[in-house]
Structures are given as structure tokens and as C-alpha cells.
């Protein structure tokens, strides 16, 4: 498995920053075993999927951290744990210094939950089809006791205007809107509680390309105006390039690389990151030798030993097959979990191949 950054390394690196979110050693396992009776009769062992394996990162106030990777890399699982929808198997998630999964902090969580919200991938599935839009957006206002009566109606109208809809749209039902408009409604609902931190789980993947650009521009505008902090989940590096300040690349539940967005696209360090960037259509790269990623992501029920990327890596050596790489910090500010980068031989192509 690609190893996480040691918690002390992340802590030292972020010590001087104003972090809203601090994730340390986050682990999530799913028990997918057959029933007890079936296992008893057949002698089958328990089967556990390690969806997230020791991930650590920080998100500074006002920045966008993007997590990218192929399907099955653990992106959405991390998102659900960060907003409190899914308990971690191990590790901690602190928002403004409060561990949201520590039972001792339960009395503080009601006030804290108002300060972080989530925008889901499918806007239609996340909206109640039986409710009018005004009631959907008003629900957080009522739950957190922010406004009542006439003030609630006025606030709903303001939120609809903020996301480029009209107050009259509040009388309609979700099915009367297009996909992009429904996502605007979801954003308005997320903003209703006046949060500081938003988790965006692939908020544009279900939308047309032209509508994606509108939603991304709206989110960036809202971030500038309201000082929001984003955790942006995506499988599309081309989208992330225009949104993120920093990018974390996930592979089979572990962070392969975390780096400032501009530095990552200028000089990707991990072989997996290089392969993902090479897959982006770009006219400026015409004629350049690319190294397309081959094979399929391994079965998480039976991950490869050592670095989990080694079966697909053109630079893999014997150490990669037996030893899990630990993340180390580079002078550029990137954290990279790769033996080849650490020892300096990742740029040396295997026999018969050109160097990346």
C-alpha cells in the first residue's frame, strides 16, 4: 500500500498554518464477510476491505484542497467521514481543533455541525422531490434556529439570488429544474447555515461540460466573497486544475502525493500522478512522449504487498514489491510516497522504455 505521511511530519509542515481541518491517520475498514453461519459451515475467513488506509492531511482556512484518484481510491469515503456521515475505524478528524468523532465532544457538535456542510454528487438524489425548493433551503435555518417566519422567507430568497436563481424559484419542485439549476439549489441549501467549510463530493461530474464551468465559477466566486474553505473531491484532474490550491492524489486508500496545484502540474513527482496528468487531453502536449497508465486498480480485498501501485508502475523495483513507501517532504513543499523518487531512480526508465 502507498504509505501515508507520518503524523509528526504533517504536523511540523502545517504548524505555522491556520488549519480548519486536521486529519490524522484516518482508516476505514468495511467488513464484507459472509454470514456467521455460512463462514462456520464453509470455513471461510472474514473478509475486510481497507477503503482508507492511514490518510493524513490539513486544510488551511480559505483554501481548496482537492482529492483525486480513480474510482475505488477512497475519495468519497473520506468525504463522508470528514462531515460525520461515516465513522472512521481509526484516526482522528479535527475541525477547528475539535475531534468530531470523540464522544467527549458530543455537546459541542451541534454548534460545530452548523459550520460545515456537504454538496453531493447527484443533485436530484440529494433533494426531497416532495418538498418545494423554499422548504428544502429553509430546513437548515429551522434546524439550527437561525431564522423564523418572515425572516426565513427573506433569507431563502437571498440564498436563491446568491446562486443565480430567483426568489420565485422557491415555489417550484426539484423536478422542474435542470441538472445545473438543481446543483445551485444544493449549494444554496449548503450555504443556509452560514458554514465556513464545504465538502464537495464530485459536484460537477453529473453535469454537462458547459454547465460544469458555470458551477465551478460560481463556487470560486462564493469562496472569494464568503471566505469558504473547500475539500473538493474529483476524479477529473482537468477540473481540479482550475479549483484547487493543493492536490492530494489517492491510490487504493493511500495518499501517493500531496503538492501545490501549480507545482504538481508543472512537475508531478509520483509515477501515478504523472500517468494521470498524461491522460488529460492537452494541445500543448502534442508530440510529447506520454506514459499512459496500464492495467486496472487492484482488488482492495487482496491488495498487492509493498507499494500497491507497483503492478502498474514502469519504474517498480524489488523494494517496491516488498516495502510500503513512507511519505517524505521535498524542497518544493510536496509530500511524496515513492521509493523511486526518494532514492532518485524514478526518472530512469526500465530497459526498452523512455524516461518520463
Closest Cα partner for 270 from 305, 239, 310, 240?
A: 310
Query: Which residue has better confidence, 166 or 300?
Result: 166
List, in order, residues 6 or more apart from 16 with CB less than 8 Å away: none
Q: What is the pLDDT of residues 36-71, one digit of tens each?
A: 888 888 888 889 999 999 999 999 999 999 999 888
Count of other CB atoms within 10 angstroms of residue 35: 8
What pLDDT score does 137 carry?
Answer: 96
Residue 332 scores a pLDDT above 90: no
220 close to 167: Cβ distance less than 8 angstroms: no
User: What are 135's three cell numbers?
Assistant: 422548504
Q: What is the pLDDT of residues 199-246, one digit of tens each?
A: 999 998 878 888 888 999 999 999 999 999 999 999 888 889 889 999
What pLDDT score does 30 carry?
Answer: 93
Amino acid at each position: 500500500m502507498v504509505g501515508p505521511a507520518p503524523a509528526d511530519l504533517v504536523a511540523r509542515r502545517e504548524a505555522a498554518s491556520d488549519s480548519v481541518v486536521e486529519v490524522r491517520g484516518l482508516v476505514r475498514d468495511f467488513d464484507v464477510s459472509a454470514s456467521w453461519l455460512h463462514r462456520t459451515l464453509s470455513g471461510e475467513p472474514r473478509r475486510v476491505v481497507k477503503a482508507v488506509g492511514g490518510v493524513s492531511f490539513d486544510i488551511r482556512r480559505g483554501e481548496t484542497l482537492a482529492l483525486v484518484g480513480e474510482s475505488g481510491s477512497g475519495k468519497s469515503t473520506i468525504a463522508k467521514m470528514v462531515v460525520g456521515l461515516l465513522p472512521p475505524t481509526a484516526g482522528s478528524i479535527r475541525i477547528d481543533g475539535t475531534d468530531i468523532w470523540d464522544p467527549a465532544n458530543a455537546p459541542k457538535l451541534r454548534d460545530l455541525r452548523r459550520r460545515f456542510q456537504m454538496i453531493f454528487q447527484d443533485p436530484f438524489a440529494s433533494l426531497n422531490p416532495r418538498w418545494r425548493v423554499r422548504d428544502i433551503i429553509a430546513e437548515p435555518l429551522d434546524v439550527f434556529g437561525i431564522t423564523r417566519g418572515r425572516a426565513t422567507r427573506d433569507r431563502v430568497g437571498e440564498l436563491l439570488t446568491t446562486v443565480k436563481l430567483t426568489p420565485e424559484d422557491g415555489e417550484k419542485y426539484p423536478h422542474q429544474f435542470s441538472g445545473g439549476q438543481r446543483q445551485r439549489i444544493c449549494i444554496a441549501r449548503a450555504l443556509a447555515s452560514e458554514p465556513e467549510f464545504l465538502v464537495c463530493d464530485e459536484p460537477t461530474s453529473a453535469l454537462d461540460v458547459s454547465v460544469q464551468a458555470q458551477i465551478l465559477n460560481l463556487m470560486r466566486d462564493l469562496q472569494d466573497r464568503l471566505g469558504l474553505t473547500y475539500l473538493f473531491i474529483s476524479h477529473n484532474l482537468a477540473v481540479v486544475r482550475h479549483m484547487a490550491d493543493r492536490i492530494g492524489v489517492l491510490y487504493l486508500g493511500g495518499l501517493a502525493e500531496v503538492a501545490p496545484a501549480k507545482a504538481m502540474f508543472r512537475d508531478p513527482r509520483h509515477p501515478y500522478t504523472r500517468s494521470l496528468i498524461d491522460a488529460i487531453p492537452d494541445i500543448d502536449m502534442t508530440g510529447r512522449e506520454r506514459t499512459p497508465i496500464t492495467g486496472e486498480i487492484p482488488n482492495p480485498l487482496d491488495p498487492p504487498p509493498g507499494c500497491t501501485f507497483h503492478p502498474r508502475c514502469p519504474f517498480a523495483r524489488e523494494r517496491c514489491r516488498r516495502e510500503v513507501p513512507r511519505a517524505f517532504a521535498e524542497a518544493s513543499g510536496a509530500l511524496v510516497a515513492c521509493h523511486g523518487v526518494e532514492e532518485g531512480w524514478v526518472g530512469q526508465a526500465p530497459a526498452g522504455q523512455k524516461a518520463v
